[in-house]
Amino acid sequence: MRLAHRFDGPDGAPVLVLASSLGTTHAMWDSNVDALAQRFRVLRYDHPGHGATPVPDSSFSVAEMADDVAALLDDEGIERVAFCGLSLGGAVGQSFARRHPDRLERLVLCCTAAKFGEPAGWEERAQTVRKDGLAAIVGAVLERWFTDAQRESQQELVAQFREQFLATPAEGYARCCEALRDWDFRAELPEIEAPTLCIAGDRDPSTPPAELELLAHEIPNAELVVLPDAAHLANVAQPELFAQAVLAA
């Protein structure tokens, strides 16, 4: 799969890959890029079936998504990167760290998990969006992405993410749900070699701080930062604190 992508930041700077959440595009990182690009050449991409990356002809796994990132680096002539992934992007980051350890300088895992709930829930979600579209679940998703206060005070921002979510092809979203349905990385966490920063949102109902505590405990060289007043999209809720944590990692 050829991943749609873009670069920001100076040529010749170390490359930082940003991998997005399920149901978003690379625009999820718009509030973070300016700060991160002061040090990095930032590489953002769209997951399969999201944004400008087409829906694949067949199903795929998280491991294959990680290999797609490695192939993108090959195409761009990039040897080593730092990798920051949120939610689904964090799962891809974990797999990338195990499958391509020689290409990874540092790893940042944000609002993610080694296992996302039970498979039946992901199967049900995939079938729902295939039958009824993403509009059937958008309200519940936004409640997980943003705190009540954010949804009240930042209505324009929330509306932008709603539009981004609804623009995602239903089949692309469903196939990523199926990749997460089959995802269980818990036994492999101790094999991650890269220095790792885990970032949690203290109000995240999808991947609460306990999930990130598990990652930080099981990954040998890892630390944990918890961002205040942040739900699942902690990078959007606290862009300055998020950038500070990533740049200090």
pLDDT digits (tens, 9 = 90+) for 183-197: 999 999 999 999 999
pLDDT in tens, 45-58: 999 999 999 999 89
Domain count of the fold of the chain: 1
pLDDT above 90 for 249: no
**Mean pLDDT in residue range 214-227:** 98
Q: Rounded CA gap, 159 and 185, in Å?
A: 33
What is the pLDDT averaged over residues 187-211?
Answer: 98
The whole-chain average pLDDT of the chain stands at 97
Q: Given this model, what pLDDT does residue 6 score?
A: 98
Question: What pLDDT digit, counting tens, does each position of 120-139 carry?
Answer: 999 999 999 999 999 999 99
**pLDDT at residue 130 in the model:** 97
What's the CA gap between 57 and 21, in Å, rounded?
Answer: 21
CB atoms within 10 A of CB 60: 19
CATH number at residue 18: 3.40.50.1820
Average pLDDT over residues 208-214: 98
pTM: 0.98
Each residue of 148-189: pLDDT tens digit? 999 999 999 999 999 999 999 999 999 999 999 999 999 999
Residue 1 has pLDDT above 90, yes or no: no
Question: Is 235 a residue whose pLDDT tops 90?
Answer: yes
> In the Cβ-directed half-sphere of 58, how many Cα atoms lie within 13 Å?
3
Question: 195 lies in which domain range?
Answer: 5-248
pLDDT grade for 23, boundaries at 50, 70 and 90: very high
According to DSSP H, which parts of the chain are helical? 30-36, 62-76, 88-99, 119-132, 138-145, 148-153, 155-166, 170-181, 209-218, 234-237, 239-248
